[in-house]
Structure 1
Amino acid sequence: MTEATIGTSAFDRDTAVTAQGEGVYGADLSAQWTIGHAVNGGYLLALLGRALGDALPHPDPFTITAHYLTASRPGPATVRTTAVRAGRTLSTGAASLLQRDEDGREVERIRVLASYGDLAALPDDVRTSAKPPQIPPYESCLGARDGMDPSAVPPITHQIDLRLDPATVGWAVGAPSGRGEMRGWFGLADGRDHDPLSLLLAVDALPPTAFELGLSGWVPTVELTVHVRRRPAPGPVRVAVTTRNLAGGFLEEDADVWDSEDRLVAQSRQLARALPA
């Protein structure tokens, strides 16, 4: 099978937006990116990121923060964008994703504030103490559908190529480590290389760290902030997610994304609820 390229992938098709007026875009949320009945938050952020990239004068998300207000469902949606400020280096904009409820009323699902720039224009100087995660080779890691009942496999797992570090999947056999860590190789199933928009998906595509803490319920995102640091090199990325504190039914997840050249290309933090099973 010929691998997809940026622009021809299912990811590009399913995050496409259509201009409907000044700052307003139509979208169709695909059921192929769902877990249970809800649409994945990283996929939704990438769709909103695409709309903002069209509405603003700069091409790439540098920082994007989303508050998830209500659960999105597959089907038609509207994205409304507002340009807040446009400077030489960065432009800032806001966006909201809305859908109609059963009574035809418009409901806001997500609200985003983001600053965009040009990643290609950044200098090459890097000074960091961050180190890539130690993950076994791709072929030694576990696929997202390995050992699962085919009838219980979430649709999103058919759209991504996720290989989890065996040290972080004890939850799958009833033996969670209690460490609140999740690590793995991440790519798109059709072979499309990564770009800044797909990094917005990557930070929210692994199973919740709550599973390794011994919880098994739904973990919906309340707020997610992503910093895109560089354009990723071709090939799969490595994602490492950690949680240090679960309290009062809420936890944080910190994610680092590294490309095939051992460069830190994205970072994120989210606040999520840990709901009972």
Structure 2
Amino acid sequence: MSAPLFADTLKLTRSAPNLWSGEADTLFSNGDNRQFGGWVAALLLKAVLGSGKPTQTQRAIVVHFLAAVRPGALAVRVTPMREGRSVSYWQAELLQEESVCVHAVITLGEGRTDPFAVTAGGKPDAVPPDTPGLGRFTPPVPFGKELQARWVEGAPFEGAAPNRSVFWSGMTKPNRLDAAKLAFLADFVPPRIFYAAQKFVPSSTLSMTVYFHATQAELDAVGEDYVLAEAHARRIEAGYWDHSVSFWSPHGALLATSEQLALHRG
């Protein structure tokens, strides 16, 4: 029996048209009574995919983290902003006690044959994730126990500069790659301020964007395997930092790209 899709591990129940209910999963907290942002993004994406047209798939998610998601009950409210024949735009909000904690705009769209299809650049050179000697750092918090990383270049707290890191990214429990898992892994990139300071500095994601490029066949081909993440920092200034990340399959397909803006309190 094959492992479940990651989205199937996210528990949501439709409680009314365009309204879903659930509960914060304590396995994916950060140890400070706050939910990991990648888990939240994946949950919002699942709700929209469960509400939109089945012929339209994920194209982009832009998430704004307005307030911490705490342990306990939550609701996800989704609103179609525009449902077109080929492309649709949805608003998704995560609420706790009637307060909006997270807001997202999610784009869905149908695919088509494209004679101009091309991927600029290529997968970074990287030894396989089972190569002996690769670093295995994950955050020492509850959600870190659910993740696995094999560091090819630029592991945290080892003297690397903040400008680039490359690592294999996966999960402890077997589950197959889908769009929700890509949204989840997009937030599993150590804050670039860790590299500049060479120590832990409290940091909070303000905004995260994920663009989904993978075809269904490419997602299926990855299955339970690791994906390769290549992160680039650009600037740390005035208490904020940003980075961009590309996610590649072991077979060389560009699966997704991500942008993030965060605040640090160092």
Please state which band the TM-score falls in when normalised by the shorter chain: 0.7 to 0.9
* 135-144 vs 30-39, which moves further: 135-144
Query: Deviation string for 1:17-75 (max 9, x for gaps)?
Result: 11111111101110111223221111100000000111111452201101100011122
> Residue 203 of structure 2 aligns to a residue in which SS?
coil
> Residue 49 of structure 1 aligns to a residue in which SS?
helix
CA 1:137–1:85: 2 relative to 1, 3 Å: same
Are residue 5 (structure 1) and residue 1 (structure 2) matched? Answer: no
Match of 1:162 among 123, 139, 149: 149
What is aligned with 2:69?
Answer: 72
> Residue 43 of structure 1 aligns to a residue in which SS?
helix
What is aligned with 1:127?
Answer: 118
Query: Deviation string for 1:238-259 (max 9, x for gaps)?
Result: 0111111111111111010001
TM-score if structure 1 supplies the norm length?
A: 0.85
- 1:213 offset after TM fit, Å? 1.6
- Give the letter for the 1:5 counterpart: P
Q: For 1:246-261, list aligned pairs within 5 A.
A: 246-261=236-251
CA distance, structure 2, for counterparts of residue 125 and residue 76 of structure 1? 46
CA distance, structure 2, for counterparts of residue 267 and residue 53 of structure 1? 19
CA 1:184–1:227: 2 relative to 1, 3 Å: same
Q: For 1:199-238, list aligned pairs within 5 A.
A: 199-214=182-197, 215-231=199-215, 232=219, 233-234=221-222, 235-238=225-228
Are residue 113 (structure 1) and residue 105 (structure 2) matched? Answer: yes
> Residue 56 of structure 1 aligns to a residue in which SS?
coil
Are residue 96 (structure 1) and residue 80 (structure 2) matched? Answer: no
Identity within the alignment, % = 22
- 1:179 offset after TM fit, Å? 3.0
What is aligned with 2:169?
Answer: 186
> Residue 153 of structure 1 aligns to a residue in which SS?
coil
CA distance, structure 1, for counterparts of residue 184 and residue 249 of structure 2? 14
CA distance, structure 2, for counterparts of residue 39 and residue 124 of structure 1? 42
What is aligned with 1:30?
Answer: 25
Question: CA contact under 8 A between 1:202 and 1:239: conserved in structure 2?
Answer: no
What is aligned with 1:142?
Answer: 135
- Give the letter for the 1:127 counterpart: V
CA distance, structure 2, for counterparts of residue 184 and residue 122 of structure 1? 32
- Give the letter for the 2:149 counterpart: L
Matched pairs, number: 255
Question: CA contact under 8 A between 2:129 and 2:226: conserved in structure 1?
Answer: no
CA 1:74–1:125: 2 relative to 1, 3 Å: farther
- 1:115 offset after TM fit, Å? 0.8
> Where in structure 1 are there 5+ consecutive unaligned residues?
101-105, 146-151
Question: CA contact under 8 A between 1:182 and 1:209: conserved in structure 2?
Answer: no
CA distance, structure 1, for counterparts of residue 255 and residue 81 of structure 2? 26
Query: Deviation string for 1:213-239 (max 9, x for gaps)?
Result: 225212211111110011323222101
> Residue 259 of structure 2 aligns to a residue in which SS?
strand
Match of 2:38 among 37, 42, 61: 42
CA 1:71–1:122: 2 relative to 1, 3 Å: farther
